[in-house]
Chain A
Amino acid sequence: MSSWLPTNPSSRRWLGLAPTYLVIGIFMLFPMIIMGTYSFMEANPYGGVKPVFSTAAYIQLAWEYDLDNTLIFNPGYLKIIWRSIELSVMATVICLIFGFPVAYYITLQPENRRNFYIYLITIPFWTNLLIRTFAWIIILGRNGVIELPLLSLGIIEKSLGMMYSDGAIAIGLTYSYLPLMVLPIYASLEKLDFRLLEAASDLYASRLAIMTKIVIPLSKPGIIAGCILVFIPCLGAFIAPNLLGGGKKLMLGSLVQFQFASARNWPFGSALSMLMLAVVVIVLILYARGAKKSTAGEKATES
């Protein structure tokens, strides 16, 4: 029965990987390459592209032709890109601050309870992003779940106006990706040897020192992985900015989606996507380098 399988281990490997390469290669890599080429073409005024080489899309990122056709510097899109990065960093940091103690707490639990906590935390994540964001509209809206009791108790007099603001977007983003921060940190902390902590306290280390000098450094790989897993989706998010931000404060994700829907500027949308990919690649390279350093460091301390 095994005669139809090649016996050479190398060809077997590639046979097993072939479906993956085929599917992801054809339906993801190749489309992204096409997208890259589109970013160097001219836009068709009614949507689509004209196969004419043009760097107009990339120029549009930072410059524009004023209404009287002079090329001037336009910080508008850079502002949007910067705002997206800012909001993503903020969401990442909030997730980290909220999520680390939770991951740590779960590690302190007995084995059988841990899985239950993990299960509790992942359930909201596996549910539809749209629904979860929509719930926040009900919560933050005028006369919504937060305001109504406050208003009727007289604690506030008029609406707090929480919806359609940067804050609402930040809350939406944080809420969507919080579990993605907790899980990697937990995975890292799980491997923590508690005897190290006890040894430290035997040596008169304060509780604070134990946390900052032992726990946190040892869970660094998990922390970094968590940050990346939150930062990247936040960067491309467009549901939270649209539904919670009122479409006023465009972020990268909604800007890209806009180019393919209303603005009919596919090359520019492609250029923006390539930019996003570039940011992601940079982050991943930094992560890979950092990971190499820390494993080297670990190996050094072990020896």
Chain B
Amino acid sequence: MKRTLSIVAVATMALSVGMAQAAEELFIYNWTEYTPPELVAKFEAETGIKVTVDTYDSNETLLAKLQAGATGYDLVVPSQNFVPIFVSEGLIQKVNVSGMSNFKNIQERWRNPAWDPKQEYSSPWQWGTTSFSYNSENYSGKGESLKEFFEPNEEASGRVSAFQTPDEVVNLANIYLGLPFCSEDPAEMKQVQDLLVAQKEHIIAYNSETMSDMLTSGEAIITNHWSGFSRLGRLTGAPIVYAYPKEGVIGWYDSLVVPSSAKNVDNARKFMNFMMDPVNMAMLTVNQGYGDSIIGSSKYYTEELKSAPEVNPPSDVPVIFATTCSPKAQSLIDKVWMKVMQ
């Protein structure tokens, strides 16, 4: 009898691990390799809140998970063009960022951005660019034009990789073809489709994760890449160069937002405020190598970071930020992508 009781007790305890949140916890759902352990440790030490980090690989996966009703996440990190979608679908809640104590640290240019005009939902994480990277030992080109990515020469043909998700690949195609983002015009999207289908001949894999590995091992010569992630690859000693093609690169901005189903809203707000402190944001930026939007954080940068090309786009290269596409435009993008994937 006693044994049965103790088994029941253990069972109830274990089940409650999954069901109810214990005191002072925080569940962060972020991109892979985007949450430095030292940053988490610092927050835990300062506040005594236990942090758990789960990961996803793309905005689309995040949206799919939240749409499917997954709860328990207190903070998620969408890109700027997804924030309005989350708002309109009722997936995130207002947390009054503009009322937080560290709000004043956000640089002017990033305050009350287009995707969150009253700064009610989101607080800064990192911003950066999307372009392509190449292995300078295997490739004689200089990454001067998107043509090298979409219509690679013989040297690189068959060893190009693009992202697994459509939005940024399509947008790079838009930049290359001189078309606007989020086009609702089928004729324009047809051009994009033709370009991507033609590119597929040269592609070795559609991959959003192991780009640096592929460049290092030589499996790929040119890969779709993000600025900071490319820098991390370069820092391991591999000859990875991030390209700034003349047509332009995509800009993106990731923010912390709180899902409507979050259980630890106060702790989430504490973390958001924590990240708006220049010391902490600098820790993140040094670790990740993207850009940040907090005043005074550059004081804490390392020398290497201050001069890293991935963090300092040349002034003559346009950085174009993606906007949220209308459902009609989005379905055109999905159609094009399905065609490419077939």
Binding site for B on A (CB under 8 A): 44-48, 64, 67-69, 76-77, 79-80, 141-143, 159, 161, 163-164, 246-248, 250, 258, 260-265
Contact = CB atoms under 8 A, between A and B. Distances in A.
B193 interface: yes
B85 interface: yes
Interface in B163-219: 164-166, 186-187, 189-190, 193, 200, 203-207, 217-219
B189 A67 contact: yes
A261 B342 contact: no
Given A67-B193, A67-B335, A143-B218, 19 more contacts: A45-B327, A46-B63, A47-B67, A48-B67, A48-B68, A67-B186, A67-B189, A76-B338, A77-B342, A79-B342, A141-B217, A141-B219, A142-B219, A163-B219, A246-B161, A248-B200, A248-B206, A260-B68, A263-B338
B96 interface: no
Nearest to A268: B338
Q: What is the size category of the interface that chain B forms with chain A?
A: 35 or more
B240 interface: no
B189 A264 contact: no
A64 B187 CA distance: 16
Given A67-B193, A248-B205, A250-B341, A262 B166 contact: yes
Contacts of A142: 217-219
B205 A246 contact: yes
Given A47-B68, A142-B217, A265-B334, A247 B206 contact: yes
Contacts of B334: 263-265
A142 B218 CA distance: 7
A261 B64 contact: yes
B153 interface: no
Contacts of B203: 248
B35 interface: no
A68 B206 CA distance: 28
B138 to A, nearest CB: 11
B206 to A, nearest CB: 4
A56 to B, nearest CB: 12
A262 B164 contact: yes
B222 interface: no
B327 A262 contact: no
Contacts of A164: 204-205, 219
A67 B189 CA distance: 8
